[in-house]
Amino acid sequence: MKISRNIFQLLVFLLPTLAFAQQHHSQSGNSKPDTTVHYQQEKHLANIRQLTQSGDYAEAYFSFDNSMVTFQAKTPEWNAPCDQIFYFPFSDGDMLNHMPQLISNGVGRTTCSYFMPGDKSILYASTRSGGDACPKDPERRSDGKYLWPLYADFDIYISDLKGNIVDTLIKSPGYDAEATVSPKGDLIVFTSDRSGDLELYTCDLKGNNVKQVTFGLGYDGGAFFSPDGKKLVFRASRPQTPEAIKEYKDLLKEGLVAPTAMEIYTCNVDGSDLRQVTHLGKANWAPFFSPSGEKIIFSSNHAGSHGFNFNLFMVNLDGSGLEQITFDPVFDAFPMFSYDGKRLIFSSNRNNGGTRYTNLFIADWKE
C-alpha cells in the first residue's frame, strides 16, 4: 500500500465495523455468505477472475510484457505473518491451488513491489536492515485515531525472480518506500522523509540523480507515472489549519501519519504544473492513470456512509466526469491497468464468504 500502502492496517483497525458490514451485506435478502464476484453495475469489467483466497493480498502490478504480476501478501498459508512480496506468471495456472514464488525471503515487513524494465528483476521496500522479524504495529491510541507507521528501516531493494537481492537501490536514515517505475523505463518515483516531510522524489534506474518533486507540507505518496512517462499521479494530505499542521508535524516526529484525509493530485515529473484533481473529502488514494492517460482510476470512501466503504472511481484529469467503477459494499482498491490497457487488476473483499479476506481479482477492461 503505499505508506506501504498499508490499508490492511486500516482494515484491521476497522475489523468490528467491517465484520458488521459484511454480515449485513450477506443477510440483506440472502441468508448465505456473499459469493459475488461481479456486480451488475460494473459495466467496465468483464470476465472477472479471482486469483487468491484466504488471506490479505494487495498492490498487484503487471510486468512490462503483461505476462506476470508482483504483489504483497499476508497469509499464514504462505508463511507470511506480515506483508511479503511474491510474483506470479499467468502461465503457471492460478494461485488458488499453489503458492507462487516468494521474492522477499520472509525477512522483515515488505511493500510496494514493481517490475523493473526487462521483467527480470523486481524492486520493493523492506525493513530487513532493521532485522528479520516483522516490526510491531503502532499501539492503539487513547484518542482512537487511526495512524500509519513510517518505519525508518524501510529501504528500497532490487531482487531477481528467485528472491536474490541484487542491489540496494535507495537507502537513507529514514523512510524510503512506495517506488514505481515509468512505463518508459527511465525513471523511478518514490516517497521519502529525508527532507523532514513526506515528499516525492525521482531517480534513475540505478538509484542515482535523486531529485525532489514535491515540496508542500503534508504526505505525498503512492505515485504512478502516466503512460507517456511525463506526469505523476499521487495521493496527498494538505493540513491547512494551525491545529492540523501541528498535529501532522507532531505525528511525523513520532514516525506516524494519519491517512484519513487525502485527495488525488497530478504534476509533471519535475514537479511543475501541480494540480489537485479531487475535492471529495475523506480518503482518496491508490490512483492510477487510465490507458489513454486522460483519466485516473482511484479508490475512495467519499460516497460511503460509515467510512469503510471503499470503491473504485474514475475521473477526468480536471476533476470532472466522476464515475463509480466497482460496487462491493466493503472494499475495492489498488487498481492497475495492464500496459496494453486490456486488463485491470485490483483487490477486493468480494466473494470472501463473509470473512475478512482481501483478495486479488483480474478483469477485462471495457470502455
Looking at residue 140, its pLDDT comes to 80
pLDDT band at 32 (very low <50, low <70, confident <90, very high): low
Which residue from 118, 111, 65 is spatially nearest to 286, judged by alpha carbons? 111
**Mean pLDDT score, 236-255:** 95
Q: Which residues pair with 231 in a beta bridge?
A: 268
pLDDT band at 260 (very low <50, low <70, confident <90, very high): confident
Instruction: Output 53 or 23, whichever has higher pLDDT.
Output: 53
- Cβ burial of 363 (10 Å; 0-12, 13-18, 19+) is buried
The most confident of the ranges 6-10, 65-69, 252-256 is 65-69
Strands 45-50 and 231-236, bridge-based pairing:
unpaired
Looking at residue 25, its pLDDT comes to 45
Q: d(Cα 187, Cα 228) in Å, to the nearest integer? A: 12
Average pLDDT score over the chain: 91
What grid cell was written down for 240? 491547512
Q: d(Cα 121, Cα 169) in Å, to the nearest integer? A: 12
Give the three-class secondary structure for 335: strand
- Cβ burial of 156 (10 Å; 0-12, 13-18, 19+) is buried
**Mean pLDDT score, 190-204:** 98
Q: Which uninterrupted H or E stretch holds 22?
A: helix 15-27
Give the three-class secondary structure for 66: coil
**Mean pLDDT score, 361-366:** 98
Distance separating the N- and C-terminal Cα atoms of the chain: 27
User: Taking the model in full, what pTM does it have?
Assistant: 0.92
Domains in the chain with CATH codes: 7-365 (2.120.10.30)
Which residue from 330, 364, 346 is spatially nearest to 24, judged by alpha carbons? 330
pLDDT in tens, 220-229: 999 999 999 9
**DSSP codes of every residue in 75-124:** EGGGTEEEEEEEEEEGGG--SSSS--EESSTT-S-EEEEEEPTTSSEEEE
CB 156 within 8 A of CB 179: yes
Cα–Cα distance list, 184 to 60, 213, 228 (Å): 19, 18, 7
**Mean pLDDT score, 121-146:** 90
pLDDT band at 161 (very low <50, low <70, confident <90, very high): very high
**Mean pLDDT score, 270-285:** 97
What is the percent of the chain with per-residue pLDDT over 70, rounded to a whole number? 91
Instruction: Output 156 or 307, whichever has higher pLDDT.
Output: 156
**Mean pLDDT score, 147-156:** 94
Instruction: Output 308 or 232, whichever has higher pLDDT.
Output: 232
Radius of gyration, alpha carbons of the chain: 19
Looking at residue 15, its pLDDT comes to 37
pLDDT in tens, 292-302: 999 999 999 99
Strand order across the beta sheet in which 188-192 lies = 176-181, 188-192, 199-203, 211-212
Instruction: Output 313 or 6, whichever has higher pLDDT.
Output: 313
Which residue from 59, 28, 43, 364 is spatially nearest to 224, judged by alpha carbons? 59
Looking at residue 13, its pLDDT comes to 39
Dihedrals phi, psi of 148, to nearest 5 degrees:
-100, 140
At residue 315, does pLDDT exceed 50? yes
pLDDT band at 17 (very low <50, low <70, confident <90, very high): very low
At residue 353, does pLDDT exceed 50? yes
Give the three-class secondary structure for 327: coil
What grid cell was written down for 303? 460516497
What is the percent of the chain with per-residue pLDDT over 90, rounded to a whole number? 82
At residue 4, does pLDDT exceed 70? no
Q: d(Cα 5, Cα 177) in Å, to the nearest integer? A: 10
At residue 307, does pLDDT exceed 60? yes
Other CB atoms within 10 A of residue 24 CB: 11
At residue 3, does pLDDT exceed 70? no
